[in-house]
Amino acid sequence: MFAVLLFSLVVFTAGAAARCPLGFVNLGRSCYLFASTTVDFAGANSFCQFFGSRLVTISSSHEDHLIRSYLLRHGKGATYYIGGTDLRGEGIFTWERPHGKKLGYTGWKHGEPNNAKGHEHCMSMPASFHYRWNDVPCSRRYRFICERAH
Ligand code: MAN
Ligand code: CA
């Protein structure tokens, strides 16, 4: 009897841990929303907060791989904003969450960030770069990725 209870508890707990709010998908330890509406960076930031989340922070090659694999299958050939900018200091990219944290792991495409034409201060993952990171103008309308805990 005790074994059955313990088994149920483990299964229930594992099931609960994998559940994400409607619209979010579970990859690794977080829930992600791959939004298909296109907005500028500030809009993406607001949308994620409205959905009880934040623009995604990618802190390891493992997390980057999970997200890129998902996008390669379901990304629809689009570009997605992720949660970093260098708006507080040219060339010094920081995450929105925790706010102002410098990048540790980075997944830039070779040659990026290049601040093309001097106007690229927001981070994105473009299908044309196989979803490796690129800095782009924050005024462009792109899809975006939000992240939240379970
Ligand atoms: C090219 C590269 C990128 C740049 C985009 C802007 O792909 O120069 O670095 O961000 O153009 O559209
Ligand atoms: Ca660029």
- Dump pLDDT digits (tens) for 82-100: 999 999 999 999 999 999 9
pLDDT of residue 101: 98
pTM assigned to the model: 0.89
Q: Cα of 13 to ligand 2 centre, how many Å?
A: 43
Mutate which of 82, 134, 140 to test ligand 1's pocket (most atoms within 8 Å of Cβ)? 134
Cα–Cα distance measured from residue 109 to residue 117, given in angstroms and rounded to the nearest whole number = 18
pLDDT recorded at residue 18: 57
Ligand at minimal distance from the CA of 113 is: 2
| Residue 2: per-residue pLDDT | 39
Ligand 1 within 6 A of CB of 112: yes
Domain boundaries, the chain: 22-149
Nearest-CA residue for ligand 1 atom 6 is: 136
CATH architecture of 22-149: Roll (3.10)
Rounded average pLDDT per 10-residue block, the chain, 150 residues: 41 57 97 98 98 98 98 98 98 97 98 98 98 99 98
